[in-house]
Structure 1
């Protein structure tokens, strides 16, 4: 296929949370999928999306995990498969129509009293000609003669080492880090797939329950301080050690959010030094310029 419909409303609705790198990775993967009419080989995903840096590879992995399904080493997408099937049906119907001689001949009516038929819009004498291009994709004067399918498969010259690194599938730590990003993003956290702090959580074996509990504590701190800023990895990173070290009897987060009283009790148990460290880490992550009065004021309300 050298053309496919892109419904902007549907795309924006499903991808509004993606970063710029993730948008680019998603577009490149879809273009490749449509051009070859085949899924994305898992061991070639990074190379086909032209991902070289760690951040670019993380963006490709995040998009694949969220929008594609991996089966027998191939990443597939149901919506794209449906669009390819519909396009193939139209192409096959057009071919069959061409073999039968194109449009059926019009039967001339001999009744002189009949009202003259509406003009067909075709030039005189061309009504019965075989349709030459029954399913032609949009064309432009500036389009290259090289087909999109060939262009999609071409890559810049690479060394053997670079090809091997790009073709390597995501390791277990990277895959776990991406799962944590998707889990916490859906609950309102502002995390990036390439953040090294998120990767460290995966390396330390942070569970879903621990990550969600730390997020709830952080959200309660924001609420008590009337602070509208998003919760980033630096802010969460200070609360996680306390959550991980909590006694085994402490209840993990439930399906619904904790009550304000429960969150206040957990948040109040945090040391003032931890809270100061959380604020400092967040300032380093967002480059915000707030003075110490904001930190002291928030800490007083929490411990009072």
Structure 2
């Protein structure tokens, strides 16, 4: 057990008469009992409590005699045994809840990857940390249809990852934990955020990149940001490329360019007067342009 409930009112009522030394002994014994889920070995009680002096040994003996019962396998506590039994009974349900939570997070990541892919296909590139609700709203607006349900089946199929073997996931998690330690964060490869990042395929380089981009954030933020950006990168790489155009469209000719071309067609006589050879320029005006109506006189 990594934790246990400590009801302050009950503890204060049952231990109000203990000395400060005996309080410390009782706490050490409880921590040991729950951590090992086993009774206190009778021949190790003093050593487990770091009792060296006669007063310390006497405090250990007093606490054991009052709150524990000596059995064949060590000193027992009825309250501790009950709590450990409840913990073990609830362990399968707790494991199922954790697995369900991981599955929900996995589906949420896949959903976001689908949304990013579909938006890119329509020319929209939202920020990696855009909330999912905003992605849904944006996609509904650009497609003109309701996308509250999962998007197209082919996109879903692209981004449904094959299950990662546990051994490979644990190897990735260890590499991520080492990368975080290099950034000054003491974290275990068995922590849930690290395992989720490893399962999502995040690399140590991506986590380090997030730590440098967000130095004031905690490690969990770096891992979640790396998961989102990794999913976005995968979605971008898997998105189909646009079809090549048949050819470049002819650029429209500006009026200035047309005027320069007309000037090239003008010749001059011996006196330097212009000679308009093109019929539309015979009187010095380009008759292909619409006539501007004259303003009425006052």
TM-score, scaled to structure 1: 0.33
Q: Which has the higher contact order (CA 8 A, sep 6+)?
A: 1
TM-score, scaled to structure 2: 0.34
The structure number with the bigger radius of gyration is 2
